[in-house]
Structure 1
Amino acid sequence: MKKIIKIVFNISFVVYLFALVFLLFLDTRGFIWSDLTMKEYIKNSSNFVPFKTINTYIRALFDGSMNIDIPIKNLFGNLFMFLPAGIYLPYYIRKLNKISVFLISMSIFLVVIEVVQVVTRRGSFDIDDFILNMLGSLTGFVIWKANAVQKLLR
């Protein structure tokens, strides 16, 4: 039974990686303002103020100032997109089982993703995306550390 669980886990990891790459870099709904210089693009598509967009989306949920799909997809999508990473990464990379190593590694990984999105013009650099992605990965890490999950996958 454990062998079947590990096979399913490995397959789900590959599917997750493909979905993540698609959502982050290949989705055609990205910004792609090709008529702007890179400096203008970064200026127009980046947010370096923590909680700026998070607050906007939370307010919109309550006051109806935008289509409810937008804040829900952005808040919960960013939160849940990296939740599986908090489970998969410590499983495959044993050194990431320490919270400090996990936090540093995820921080570097998420900053690289944000930078690549800007450089390729497939998204924006948004500190709020980083915050939500980090919270999601930490949630996954807490789930990973649960005894039941450890027994199931070890």
Structure 2
Amino acid sequence: MKKKEQEDSVMKRKKDSGRILFGVCCAGYIIFMLVILYVKPFEGLSYTITEVQRKGYWETVRSHTDFQLFESIFPLVNYVFFILLFIPAGILLPFYSKKYRRLLPFFLTSLLLVLFVGISRLLSLLGYFIADEILMNLLGCLYGWLIFKIFYGILRLYLKKK
């Protein structure tokens, strides 16, 4: 009986350490995203303030919006950056909840996340709302989800063999 209790205790500690590691990864990723998406743009804040004073808030918001696909003001390198930026979100969401291991709930949640980031950056004037950026961010989430599914499937096969 005592051996069973010890095994349960070890399993509980492993599970708790996994949750702590997941929490640290999520917190680190969120801090990284906040710095990249919201703090770094403060470098150009004086220009944005001048632009708002000259044009007005809503005119500035309108000028920070671009819905033309793949003809935006950003070069190809930024497309790769936008994809890479959201791959961790695509990996972490299925770890967070089993419901995100299915494509539709994952896709809808990722779409809401990407739209929230784009709209909040636009309304705070700390970035642009560009259709290309939104699509690349969503594509990054989907790549992350595919990476999760591949590694999760490999892990399940490995554990079945044991």
Q: TM-score of the superposition, structure 2-length normalised?
A: 0.73
Q: Alpha-carbon deviations, 1:113-141, whole Å to 9, x = none?
A: 11111111111111111011011110000
Aligned residue in 1 for 2:84: 80
Q: Report deviation, 1:8.
A: 3.4
Kindly provide the amino acid, as one letter, of the partner of residue 57 in structure 1: P
- Quick one: which of 10, 24, 47 aligns to 2:66? 47
Kindly provide the amino acid, as one letter, of the partner of residue 126 in structure 2: R
- Quick one: which of 86, 93, 101 aligns to 2:105? 101
Aligned residue in 1 for 2:154: 148
| 8 Å contact kept, 1:144–1:150 | no
Aligned residue in 1 for 2:43: 29
- Quick one: which of 131, 134, 137 aligns to 2:135? 131
Aligned residue in 2 for 1:17: 30
Aligned residue in 2 for 1:63: none
Secondary structure at the aligned position of 2:114 is classed as helix
The structure with the largest alpha-carbon Rg is 2
What percent of counterpart residues are identical? 23
Larger RCO (alpha carbons 8 Å, 6+ apart):
1
Q: TM-score of the superposition, structure 1-length normalised?
A: 0.76
| 8 Å contact kept, 1:78–1:132 | yes
Name structure 2 gaps, 5 residues minimum.
Answer: 1-12
Aligned residue in 2 for 1:90: 94
* In structure 1, distance between residues paired with 2:25 and 2:91: 12
Secondary structure at the aligned position of 2:87 is classed as coil
Secondary structure at the aligned position of 1:34 is classed as helix
How many pairs are equivalent? Answer: 137
Matching of residue 57 in structure 1 with residue 108 in structure 2: no
* In structure 2, distance between residues paired with 1:84 and 1:148: 19
* In structure 2, distance between residues paired with 1:112 and 1:47: 16
Q: Report deviation, 1:104.
A: 1.2
Q: Please tell me the root mean square deviation across aligned C-alpha atoms, in Å.
A: 2.5
Q: Alpha-carbon deviations, 1:50-97, whole Å to 9, x = none?
A: 22228x624xxxxxxxxxxxxx2x122111110000010111122211
Moved more, 44-53 or 28-37: 28-37
List structure 1 segments (4+ residues) > 6 angstroms apart after TM superposition. Answer: none
Quick check: which one's helix share is greater?
2
Q: Report deviation, 1:15.
A: 0.6
Secondary structure at the aligned position of 2:94 is classed as helix
